[in-house]
A and B are shown apart, each in its own frame.
Chain A
Amino acid sequence: MKFGIVTFPGSNCDYDAYHAVTEILGEQAIYLWHKDHDLQNADVVVLPGGFSYGDYLRAGAIARFSPIMQEVAEHAKAGGPVLGVCNGFQILCEAGLLPGALMRNATLQFVSAPVRIRVENADTLFTSLYQKGELLKIPIAHGDGRYFAPPQELDALEADGRVIFRYADASGNISADANPNGSERNIAGIINEQGNVLGMMPHPERACSRLLGSEDGVRLLESILSRVAA
């Protein structure tokens, strides 16, 4: 399977994603330059973390106008898997491929730390190899990660099982203390209505090796593999 990893000016987790796909998952990965208009037959598109366009205006606001985003939107519309991590999640929201917005962390501080997230829905393209309720240790590194959407939108997301990950404490409780950025309802990741576009602030690609503190991100990539290959 071929993963296409989009590099925007200011992306800095594109290599992390490339490494996770090629070295850990053992699949093919290619970099897609943001100015291109060609996904080069990638089966899965990854929008990596970083600070595309220096976060000018708002995080992700300019990147969504990059030429390749047209193809990414078409790929998503056609049911192709799209994974947006961190800045990638911000770009997906700005592009309207996911609802809501990522705002400045409530503490105003950039937070770089391993956090625990609880799997809220294990019946998706991206989470089928996890158990519902399972706790994952995955790092975050962001200053604008406070997920916001109007209450009725949040209710709809929850009712449809589209909240995929929530920040939790070590016992799995969803508490204010476990919320690193003030996200509404501790939301760390959501999926689109069709179930093929996932946005999340934590970095699964950085949690693929015991040496780096966690391997909990591997099964997210393997889930995509098992579903798409099937």
Chain B
Amino acid sequence: MARFRLAVRIVPRKGLLDPQGKAVSDALHTLGFESVGSVHVGRYIVIETSADDALAAGESVREMCRKLLANPVTEDFEVESAVPA
């Protein structure tokens, strides 16, 4: 077993109303960043865990996302590659 660090990005599912993202995008426009199209606000979670290898660590964290970290009805997630912790 080895220790790994993995980061998870959780974002509102595409196409769903994202009032937080809209508010940030409006504020950016007000600041003069007129080129900004859309903004989405999500969560970034860093997990340290042990696993046989990086592949297994990734699979375990994806399972965590499906069961707890992301809401399957409203959110999508991406797990970044595992790095040694």
Contact = CB atoms under 8 A, between A and B. Distances in A.
Contacts of B43: 57
Interface string B35-78: 00000000100000000000000000000000011010110000
B43 to A, nearest CB: 8
Residues of B in contact with A, size category: 10 to 19
Interface stretch (A32-40, A78-86, A102-110, A206-214): A102-110
Contact of B73 (A101, A105, A108, A182): A101
A58 interface: yes
Contacts of B23: 108
What DSSP secondary structure best describes chain A's contact surface?
loop
B20 A61 contact: no
B19 A108 contact: yes
A104 B20 contact: yes
B31 to A, nearest CB: 18
Given A105-B19, A108-B20, A108-B23, A148 B74 contact: yes
Interface of A: 57-58, 61, 65, 93-94, 99-101, 103-108, 146, 148-150, 182
In the A-B complex, the 10 residue pairs with the closest CB atoms? A101-B73, A101-B74, A108-B19, A106-B19, A101-B71, A58-B71, A108-B23, A103-B74, A104-B19, A148-B74
